[in-house]
A = this chain, B = another copy of it.
Amino acid sequence: MNERLFGFVGGDSGAWLVTSMDAVKGHPLPNATHVAMLNGASIQGHQANWVLRGVTSNERYVTKTEKKNLVAVQQGLGRTPSTMAALIPIRKSAAWWLLTQEERREILEERSHHIQIGMAFLPAIARRLHHCRDIGTPEPFDFLTWFEFAPSDEARFNDLIAQLRATHEWSYVDHEVDIRVILKNS
């Protein structure tokens, strides 16, 4: 399997316990009590209430300077204090995907400051973005973002998400679910 392929499985087992599942825009996902994060081959044939798949990929929007600034301050997943996480799948409208790259960049950063907003919450909020639109299976979302943070940063995370949802970019989001989880035995 593609080693950049990840699957998020909502069911009755997994390392993360679901604390809430909210449909922010569009229809909700079926309820699940646990989320398991799987990589590569192990995704195949997994039975669950839902399975969301996506691949990590090359950068699409950051400039060289932005990338350098991000890399200097961001931290990876799996930090010991990061016992809270959020899985936020979103889909963007057909109108978004008909835009050219420069039009999308203009909306995402010059107008909506998506990268700049995220930067302000580093390194507290760790993040991994997965792309779903161009994998062979028909996925219900375009992106899955997985965020990890310490419980003491939960309010800051809520602030980050609120800022992003208030942007012009978010007017192109036509389906969004917000799944909050905590690490089992944390």
Contacts and interface: CB of A to CB of B under 8 A. Distances in A.
A58 B103 CA distance: 12
Given A1-B136, A1-B138, A4-B134, 7 more contacts: A5-B136, A55-B134, A59-B101, A61-B101, A63-B102, A67-B100, A136-B136
Interface residues of A, number: 32
Contacts of A99: 58
15 contacts: A1-B138, A2-B137, A57-B133, A58-B98, A58-B99, A59-B100, A59-B101, A60-B101, A62-B101, A63-B100, A64-B100, A67-B100, A101-B101, A131-B134, A134-B134
A56 to B, nearest CB: 9
